[in-house]
Copies of this chain bind each other. A is one copy, B any other.
Amino acid sequence: MQEVRTILLKKSVYEDNDREADALRQKMKEKGVRLVNVMSSPGSGKTTMLVALIGLLKERFRIGVMEADIDSDVDAVTVAKKTGCPSVQLHTDGMCHLDAGMTAQGLRALEDDLDLIFLENVGNLVCPAEYDTGAALDIVILSVPEGDDKPLKYPLVFQKCDLVIVSKIDALPYFGFDLDRCKENIRLRNPHAAVIPVSAKTGENMEALARWFIENK
């Protein structure tokens, strides 16, 4: 076996938007609005999950949705059509993440009398974790086909989240995904994150997920 060398590459400049994010969080708190930042890889089923979840929550809360995408508007149209909730599409024009300023632009375009707003971040496990959007809750969706090792390979997004939704568990028999190992990998990164495995397709455990949002509103 060949020897493996590891090289640490230099990081380039960061923009710090923490102050703007804190101000936005405070403002939303004063208005009684809960902003939830949803992060995941492309193709983890964020939109399908949101539609199913909103179905279980919309009698209780006035819900709005912001869908960030690089260059399409299919998600906001889908969400608006399937849930009837006010939805805004945020085009990032190639950008790989949302920051607090972008989030604030989106919020200004939404209705003003909402209790709960879901922000579907750009599909990306890396950059969205580095920019505080100003949300009160940060959530990661990890889908079964991506593998149970992702918390080891994309540490920051798991470190900073309040909840990991393990999605597409209907596909568990098909992939070599070990749910216990996944939970252990998440715990290594973040002992405080809740972990809720669900299937939006079959509805399995979706009620438990809805309860988490009611308890954390």
Question: Could you list which residues of chain A lie within 8 angstroms of chain B, going by C-beta atoms?
Answer: 1-12, 15, 41-43, 69-74, 76-77, 80-81, 84-96, 98, 102, 105-106, 109, 122-127, 130, 143, 145-147, 149-150, 152-156, 168, 171, 174-175
Contacts and interface: CB of A to CB of B under 8 A. Distances in A.
A22 B125 CA distance: 29
5 contacts: A7-B89, A9-B91, A69-B153, A70-B126, A96-B130
Contacts of A73: 4, 6
A157 to B, nearest CB: 10
A94 B14 CA distance: 11
A16 to B, nearest CB: 13
A186 to B, nearest CB: 15
A201 B141 CA distance: 25
A127 B96 contact: yes
Nearest to A94: B11
Contact of A9 (B92, B124, B153): B92
A90 B9 contact: yes
Given A41-B123, A126-B127, 12 more contacts: A4-B73, A4-B76, A6-B76, A7-B91, A7-B105, A9-B95, A9-B98, A43-B150, A71-B155, A96-B127, A123-B125, A145-B168
